[in-house]
């Protein structure tokens, strides 16, 4: 399959999506941040000194999704119709899972916006909590699902389901 972000001379280009029909598209990405028990308990109890960790991370994730084309060089500037960022506390492992869902009706997908949103939400959690725990680890950021567009629907149940085998 030829690379779509290169011209016939090998120069980087933004893909021309002008001839594609608009369609309803949605992408969902997920990722996690693992932290100490002390930090996890402070976050879950709403006791972090910097304030409401989830409110700050949610707004940061939404803002980042909206500005993805300013961060990723060949990404299209897309009119987003929806962005949400939600969190799940995973008590057993002291992790917080962030989920970013992005929607549009357009000629190109919103996978990069969803990935940028979840990444920024997790980075914001790190920033809000670093005074308590500098050993936090952000991991497992992946595209969970996407719908719409010519490539069809995709569902990735977890990052572990993706083979890292380079022979494929």
- Known catalytic residues? 127
Q: Evaluate whether 138 touches 29 at the Cβ level (below 8 Å).
A: no
Strand ranges of the sheet holding 82-90, from the earlier edge strand across to the other edge: 82-90, 95-106, 23-34, 137-147, 154-155
Least Cα distance to 121 among 144, 101, 103 occurs for 101
Phi first, then psi, for residue 79 (nearest 5°) are: -80, 110
């Amino acid at each position: 399959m030829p690379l779509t972000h290169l011209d016939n001379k090998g120069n980087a280009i933004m893909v021309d999506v002008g001839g594609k029909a608009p369609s309803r598209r949605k992408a969902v990405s997920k990722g996690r941040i693992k932290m100490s028990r002390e930090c996890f308990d402070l976050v879950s109890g709403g006791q972090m000194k910097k304030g409401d960790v989830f409110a700050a991370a949610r707004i940061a994730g939404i803002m980042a999704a909206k500005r993805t084309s300013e961060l990723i060089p060949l990404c299209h500037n897309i009119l987003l119709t929806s962005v949400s960022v939600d969190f799940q506390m995973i008590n057993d492992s002291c992790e917080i899972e962030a989920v970013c869902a992005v929607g549009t009706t357009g000629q190109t997908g919103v996978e990069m916006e969803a990935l940028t949103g979840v990444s920024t939400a997790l980075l914001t959690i790190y920033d809000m909590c670093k005074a308590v725990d500098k050993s936090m680890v952000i991991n497992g950021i992946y595209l969970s699902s996407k719908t719409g567009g010519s490539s069809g629907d995709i569902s990735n149940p977890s990052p572990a389901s993706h083979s890292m085998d380079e022979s494929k």
